[in-house]
Amino acid sequence: MTASGHHDSFDYIVVGSGAGGGPLAARLAEAGMRVLLLEAGAEGLADHDSDDYAVPAFHGRATEDPATSWQYFVRHYANRKQQERDSKFVAARDGVFYPRAAALGGCTAHNAMITIYPHAEDWNEIYELTGDESWRAENMRTYFERLEDCGYRWRPWRLPANRLLAALATHLPLLNHRFRNDARHGFGGWLHTALADPLMALEDKKICALLGDAAQANVAEFWQRRGDLFAGPRSWLDPNDWRLRDSPDGVWEIPMAVQRGRRNGSRERIRDVARRLPHRLVVRTGCLVTRVLLDEEPAATGVEYIHAPHAYWCDPCPARGPMPPVQTACATQEVILAAGAFNSPQLLKLSGIGAAAELGPLGIEPRVELPGVGRNLRDRYEVAVVSRMTRDFSLLSRRNRFRPPFPGERPDPAYRRWRWCGKGVYATNGTVVGVVRRSDYGRAAPDLFVFGLPARFEGYYPGYSCELEHHRDYFTWAILKAHTENRAGEVRLRSADPRDPPVIDFHYFEEGSDTKGEDLDAVVKGVRIARDIMSRAGTAVAEEVSPGPEVQTDDQLKEWIRDNAWGHHASCTCPIGKRADGAVTDGSFRVHGVGRLRVVDASVFPRIPGFFIVTSIYMLAEKASETILADAAKHLTGNPTRLIHARHCRPR
């Protein structure tokens, strides 16, 4: 794949190659459109991937790889005194480390690859906002089936071509289930999903015992899903099985986006299409988009960008100095922003789309008054219950270094096994089990995901990934609070320089909009669930390190949570909805008040979906491609691959 065909004009320009932009650009190119995909990161264009990218167990290292990391430092609180109580706070950067990726594939190049389907309520809420039936949960499942290539469930058999045999096959009680896809998994998509080898847990008695403790604490919920006897136990532990959507609570295995022991995601999708259709999908890396060009309507006509790797000042080694020469690319059809919850609103504001009261003082000409841009920033709340065990986990043998070998260094046994057959502990993301619960039984959907990993993990701070490889005798129950009530976060421009990262403040807990304190109460419940599971481990636990035995009452836990919570699923800064209600985009991803401009990434969710948002964003990309192509068809004539209204890229 090369950045060939360096022309000025394309049908579509997609900004950002992550979970939204990469699959979207690929679909448009496959449909015959000529697409320019611009990615600020310089890594990933070549066929060779670093071990930090490819090895699932190294995903922590990938978040701090200086070649691909964007190091945001965000505020959880505007109140400086409260913020300083967080041990992860870095005073010199006035914030807490929030890892993002600058590489082909965006944050799919460093995430933990967890692939869990969102809740029906996430999609039905968008349907209620827009009145668009295509957003209903029943219909949205189609996009998951389209993108997934499930590697851990039986692929349904094809029905015989003979009608008589087909009728017989569908009516035989012992065989008909093999011809159906009742689980509604996908088996021919571009994203391969897998589970960790269950036999691997048998290599470590302590991990087996902890899995048993989690199952024992949730046996009632597990028993409720035993209905389909033909589906078998693997179905009962599959959180993505469509049949179990009404029984989401309890213990689950954790699906991963892994193929043959290697990470797979947006990057592989882009490469595949760019190789097959090099003149349709043109990929340019190391290109930081500085603004969207608008005509008099206003409507998007193209973008300006600088070709300068490491130009963005979140880069660990930023290239400061004078602004590099600005280049222009024109779109005859549309510009689509997929730069993420921080950068998509930043680009809209730099282009004059936002609140005039914010833009004017920075010297930016306001073009469209859209004050919702950058507001409604949401995230999960996460904390961790960490225990030191009496002995190392045998699965984490100290012969294994949990890092790539240095030049000339003999690879460790786990690395050799991973290279040889794509198996073993390096072929996993480290999670061993997930527990789904509701903080309140009256909730329509579960809001707590408690997952275990044999490591010491207490959030993100510079150098945290090195700590993961030093502790072989720790176990963490990470508590993730989903469907949060707080919507008070914001992304504001720091300056009019597009290289300058925005100011990001989440306004946690009481500083935010959750006046009833529901989020904080829910996290307390999650901590107690994790402690209950760990209490069953008995003498295998030496001590609880965090929160620690001195933190017991609800008030003590709330104080500890306020001081230590973090998140890493920022979203909702360009939400779908009505303009009068402060929304930024409509149900077709179009920016209110601007023609030929859309946003397709985590920022368009009105509320943060599910537990892990990457699956939801992949589904958005598939839906958006269908919507965009349907709109394009209304403007095509004759040859469906040629657009009739090419326009010059003349910004006002």
Per annotation, catalytic residue among 76, 119, 185, 569: 569
The answer to whether 49 and 59 are in contact (CB under 8 A) is: no
Three-class SS state of 240? coil
Would you state the structure tokens that stand for residue 574, as one six-digit string? Answer: 């360009």
- Structure letter (DSSP) for residue 411: P
- Structure letter (DSSP) for residue 591: B
Three-class SS state of 529? helix
Would you state the structure tokens that stand for residue 382, as one six-digit string? Answer: 């996460």
569 is catalytic: yes
Q: What is the DSSP string of 146-167?
A: HHEEESSSPPPPPPPSSHHHHH
**Residue at token pair 């998007």:** 300
Report how far Cα 499 is from the mean position of its chain's Cα atoms. 24
Q: Provide the CB-side half-sphere exposure for 86 (13 A, CA).
A: 29
Q: From CA 647, how far away is CA 162, in angstroms rounded?
A: 53
- Structure letter (DSSP) for residue 28: H
Q: From CA 597, how far away is CA 591, in angstroms rounded?
A: 6
Rg of the chain on CA atoms, in Å = 24
Backbone angles phi, psi at 362, to 5 degrees: -90, 0
Report the DSSP pairing between strands 448-453 and 474-481. antiparallel
Q: From CA 209, how far away is CA 263, in angstroms rounded?
A: 28
Report how far Cα 598 is from the mean position of its chain's Cα atoms. 19
Would you state the structure tokens that stand for residue 50, as one six-digit string? Answer: 């670093």
Instruction: Point out the residues that are catalytic.
Output: 569
